[in-house]
A and B are shown apart, each in its own frame.
Chain A
Amino acid sequence: MKHVGTQTILFDNPPTILETSSIVGPKESEGPLAKYFDQCLDDEFWGEKTWEKAESKIIKENVNAVVAKSGIAATDIQYCFAGDLLNQCISSSFGLRELNVPFFGVFGACSTFVESLCLGSVFVEAGAATNVLCATSSHFCSAEKQFRFPLELGNQRPQSAQWTVTGSGAAIVSNSRNRSIYYLYDPWKNC
């Protein structure tokens, strides 16, 4: 692993994404990407009392799903990098509590997931871990409550207003040294 250019890390044995999983809310389920998500919810609360608890449940269930899909035991995951948009990253910290994996809270707003993947890959490449879990979550209602106006407020949104995703994404980044992987395209061939 070495540093090249100004902002690039070059890996000797690039870590790979072992498995991914995603859960999304009702609005995302209506979109053109719906068929690519693992689970689509039809209720913003998902049986919980508050939006924050619902978000926490989404990331918890999603992390359980990715671990189950990957076929490795939760005990084989050494670290977890995750974050969300709420104060003190509460939905991630509460959602990941039961997993019993050391947790690094990441806050990067929209870039949280990629940030977790970067940090996780460096951990794997450096030999500090063989498998790390990278995850993120957000919830339209809890984000509106935290950053904007109450949902019941009768105001107009501009035509170009953004809509925070209700959902969670998770990936397991793993060491590829002991696995045979075909690289279809090697961007570092000429480095």
Chain B
Amino acid sequence: MKPIETKQEYSDYVDKKSPNSPILKNCFNAFWVGGLICSIGQILFDFCQYKGMDETSCSTVVSIVLIGIAAILTGLNIFNKIGKFAGAGSLVPITGFANSIVSPAIEYKSEGYVMGVGGKMFTVAGPVLVFGISASVIIGIIATFFS
């Protein structure tokens, strides 16, 4: 075998040697689990509308219920198994966001409630919040001047 000299050669070598993820299977699992989560959300939404709520309240109730379910499943050590199976299917909906906040809270509980749970809770979701909120503030300012 000829010696590996550049970073690119090494990276190619690693790609050649390491087994690939089963993309088709992963996509299929992500598709149906993600679809199922969204369907549950839609059923809840329709149920709320049936009970006579307006559209904004319905969306809020759906978000709260899905976050609640994801948080409880994370605490019961079930959500990570779903996530391992479904990948982006459970990570992209709001359930993934709930999981990314609850899991560090559980993990760092051993370091105390203030500096552990409080301080480390946003280690995974923090960047999403910082850039999401920053982006919305900037868009808001632009919208104020140009509308």
- The number of chain A residues with a CB under 8 A from chain B is 17
The residues of B that contact A159 with a CB separation of less than 8 Å are 18-21
Per a CB cutoff under 8 Å, which of A49, A52, A152 touches B80? A152
B interface, over-half SS: helix
Given A155-B91, A156-B84, also A150-B106 (CB < 8 A): yes
Q: Is A164 an interface residue (CB 8 A)?
A: no
CB distance from A26 to the nearest CB of B (A): 16
Q: Is the CB of B110 within 8 A of A156?
A: no
Q: Is the CB of A156 within 8 A of B87?
A: yes
The residues of A that contact B99 with a CB separation of less than 8 Å are 152-154
CB distance from B43 to the nearest CB of A (A): 22
CA distance A167 to B80 in the complex (A): 24
The residues of A that contact B106 with a CB separation of less than 8 Å are 150, 152
Complex: chain B residue closest to A160, CB-CB:
B18
Docked complex: B15-35 residues within 8 A CB-CB of A? 18-21, 26
Q: Is A158 an interface residue (CB 8 A)?
A: yes
Complex: chain A residue closest to B18, CB-CB:
A160
Docked complex: A17-70 residues within 8 A CB-CB of B? 49-52
- The number of chain B residues with a CB under 8 A from chain A is 28
Q: Is the CB of B83 within 8 A of A156?
A: yes
Complex: chain B residue closest to A141, CB-CB:
B107
The residues of B that contact A150 with a CB separation of less than 8 Å are 103-104, 106-108, 124
The residues of A that contact B107 with a CB separation of less than 8 Å are 145, 150-152
The residues of B that contact A160 with a CB separation of less than 8 Å are 18-19
CB distance from A44 to the nearest CB of B (A): 13
Known: A152-B107, A154-B91. 8 other contacts (CB 8 A): A150-B108, A152-B79, A153-B83, A153-B104, A154-B74, A155-B87, A159-B19, A159-B20
User: 3 tightest A-B contacts by CB?
Assistant: A154-B83, A150-B107, A152-B103
Complex: chain A residue closest to B82, CB-CB:
A154
Q: Is the CB of B84 within 8 A of A154?
A: yes
